[in-house]
Amino acid sequence: MFLYKQALPGKVTVYLLQFQDRIPWLCNLHDILLRDVASGQHVVLAWSALKKMYRDILIRGKDGAPLKCDESGKEEKLAEVKLLVVHLSGSFEVISGRLLKRKGHFMPPELLQSQFDTLEPPSAPENFIQISVDKNLSEIIATIMETVK
């Protein structure tokens, strides 16, 4: 995962983040998702979330665990975000070809292999759908919309 910082007008600096750097950011996203969903909003978060642990933190917050003890020693259920992961899957060749066609994109094509190496595709019991990037955009959107109905 990378942190993108606007350094100069028209320039973006890319910093590689380690796991410990990501935790506060992921916890903040968890809190924002909880708040917005609780207020009745429908929320879309677009992010790669390559590792299961990242998705767990988005769902359960910092502990990434479903249960926590309160001061009396009783277990209490943590607030969880109901998250649907939309896993867009495609071959390295297809995605690399599309990335190379982008102009001025922050993601250098040289980093794509590391993204594939890091990827932990969602699996049961995670709440997810997998859609091939070989489908056209309208088919991808229709599949997502049908799933969230």
Question: Can you read off the two tokens belonging to residue 7?
Answer: 């350094």
* 135 φ/ψ angles, rounded to the nearest 5 degrees: -75, 160
- pTM to 2 decimal places: 0.74
Per-residue pLDDT of the chain (149 residues; tens, 9 = 90+): 344 444 445 554 555 566 777 788 888 899 999 999 889 888 888 888 899 999 999 998 876 633 443 444 455 556 788 889 999 999 999 999 999 998 877 778 888 999 999 999 999 999 999 999 999 999 999 999 999 88
* 68 φ/ψ angles, rounded to the nearest 5 degrees: -145, 145
Strand, helix or coil for residue 68: strand
Beta strand pairing call for 85-89 and 75-77: unpaired
Question: Can you read off the two tokens belonging to residue 68?
Answer: 């926590």
